[in-house]
């Protein structure tokens, strides 16, 4: 515990800028993963425990695609598409069979996939830590804002996540497709009675979650090191984010992710041993005081 350093930091503008930018990229990545998790839960009513593995898969696919093409944008698109397709198969042939079974079976199917994917990654890319390195186009000197250092890539990452958030919001709340998805989330039986193909909607939402997680993995690849099993810690964190923001609410995921990102980056200065504890404490407080989350709707029992 060193509260003095935290005090020094929040009173100096340069430190605030640096830490805020770090917090924002953590938050941006968390948001992309958590948005998929919360979307799948909101519409399908299941928690995809293998969601972190999709993120891992995205990072590794991007790693290979970048090595093959040398183009980071192509790597991101590749990762998003590949993981989206994988999620499609996962939903269609595995998860769909256990929607109506009890939680135990859903849990076991996801558990099996986490184990399998970790080993597949180990088989293809090796068990050691991998690092993609910063793409050349972003190796420009960092910005100095009020004395704080902000690498160029951080801005790209934040902009990309913000762009995705806006598109997601627009699609869900302003388009016909979004209306159908919300209808399926609200009352699947009624939706299918009205002639909408709910199983197609489920498939689409799951694939969307996969695309988001894969893109997040690809965006994280230049700034994080990769290893098999890397998906699990982000799974827990994005779960905390969704609980804080409200299960099923994409807006809540955004708020929660930014909150956790900033807590993590400032906390690493003031109370490094206690960052994780703080996140859990925040989650527990939310669960006790407002179980539906900050922006969640009260669900009927």
Partner 1 sequence: MKTLSSFRKEILWAVIVLAVLLAIPMVTPSRLAMDFIIRLAAFGIFATSLNILVGYGGMVSFGHAMFFGGGAYAFGLLMQKAGTSVPLGLLGAIVFCALLGLAVGAICVRLREIYFSFLTLAFQMLLHSVILSWVSLTGGDQGLMGGIPRPPFLGLDLSQPTTLYGFACALAVICLLLIRLLLQSPFGYTLRMVRDNAERARYLGIDVWRIKLYAFVIASAFAGVGGAVMALFVSGAYPEFSYWTMSGEAIFMIMMGGLHVFIGPVVGAALLMMFNDIVTRVTELHGLAMGVIVLLFALGFKRGVTDFALQLWRLLKNKRVST
The contact set with partner 1 (CB under 8 A) reads: 41, 45-47, 49, 94, 97-98, 101-109, 111-116, 118-120, 122-123, 232-233, 236, 239-240, 243, 247, 273, 276-277, 280, 283-284, 287-288, 291
Query: Measured from the CB atom, is 110 or 221 closer to partner 1?
Result: 110
Closest to 255 (Cα-Cα) out of 223, 229, 220, 282? 282
Closest to 143 (Cα-Cα) out of 156, 131, 134? 156
Q: Closest separation between CB of residue 105 and partner 1, Å? A: 5
Q: Closest separation between CB of residue 239 and partner 1, Å? A: 5
Q: Closest separation between CB of residue 280 and partner 1, Å? A: 5
Q: Give the Cα separation of 167 and 185 in Å (integer).
A: 19
Q: Closest separation between CB of residue 284 and partner 1, Å? A: 6
Q: Give the Cα separation of 260 and 22 in Å (integer).
A: 12
Q: Closest separation between CB of residue 41 and partner 1, Å? A: 8
Query: Measured from the CB atom, is 75 or 283 closer to partner 1?
Result: 283
Query: Measured from the CB atom, is 207 or 243 closer to partner 1?
Result: 243
Q: Closest separation between CB of residue 88 and partner 1, Å? A: 17
Q: Give the Cα separation of 206 and 94 in Å (integer).
A: 12
Other Cβ atoms within 10 Å of 233 Cβ, number = 11
Query: Measured from the CB atom, is 26 or 219 closer to partner 1?
Result: 26
What's phi and psi for 195, nearest 5 deg?
90, 10
Q: Closest separation between CB of residue 122 and partner 1, Å? A: 7
Query: Measured from the CB atom, is 37 or 211 closer to partner 1?
Result: 37
Query: Measured from the CB atom, is 140 or 236 closer to partner 1?
Result: 236
Q: Closest separation between CB of residue 60 and partner 1, Å? A: 16
Q: Give the Cα separation of 39 and 185 in Å (integer).
A: 9
- The dihedral sign for the CA sequence 218, 157, 23, 170: negative
Query: Measured from the CB atom, is 122 or 297 closer to partner 1?
Result: 122
Query: Measured from the CB atom, is 15 or 109 closer to partner 1?
Result: 109
User: What's the token pair of residue 226?
Assistant: 């990769």
């Amino acid at each position: 515990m060193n509260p003095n350093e935290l005090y020094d930091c929040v009173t100096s503008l340069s430190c605030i800028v640096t830490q805020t930018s770090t917090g924002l990229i953590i938050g941006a990545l968390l948001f992309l993963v958590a948005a998929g998790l919360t979307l799948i839960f909101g519409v399908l009513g299941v928690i995809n425990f293998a969601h972190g593995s999709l993120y891992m898969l995205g990072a590794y696919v991007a790693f290979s695609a970048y090595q093959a093409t040398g183009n980071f944008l192509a790597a991101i698109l590749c990762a998003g598409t590949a993981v989206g397709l994988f999620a499609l198969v996962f939903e269609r042939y595995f998860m769909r069979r256990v929607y109506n079974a009890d939680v135990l079976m859903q849990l076991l199917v996801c558990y099996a996939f986490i184990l399998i994917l970790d080993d597949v990654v180990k088989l293809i890319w090796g068990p050691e830590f991998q690092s993609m390195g910063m793409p050349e186009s972003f190796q420009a000197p960092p910005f100095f804002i009020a004395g704080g250092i902000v690498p160029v890539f951080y801005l790209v990452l934040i902009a990309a996540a913000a762009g995705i958030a806006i598109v997601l919001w627009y699609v869900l709340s302003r388009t016909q497709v979004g209306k159908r998805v919300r209808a399926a989330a609200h009352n699947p039986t009624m939706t299918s009675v009205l002639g909408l193909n709910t199983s197609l909607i489920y498939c689409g939402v799951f694939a969307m979650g996969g695309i988001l997680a894969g893109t997040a993995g690809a965006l994280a690849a230049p700034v994080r090191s990769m290893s098999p099993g890397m998906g699990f810690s982000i799974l827990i964190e994005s779960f905390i984010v969704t609980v804080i923001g409200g299960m099923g609410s994409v807006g809540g995921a955004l708020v929660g992710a930014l909150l956790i990102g900033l807590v993590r980056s400032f906390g690493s200065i003031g109370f490094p041993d206690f960052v994780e504890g703080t996140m859990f404490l925040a989650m527990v407080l939310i669960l006790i005081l407002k179980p539906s989350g900050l922006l969640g709707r009260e669900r009927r029992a």
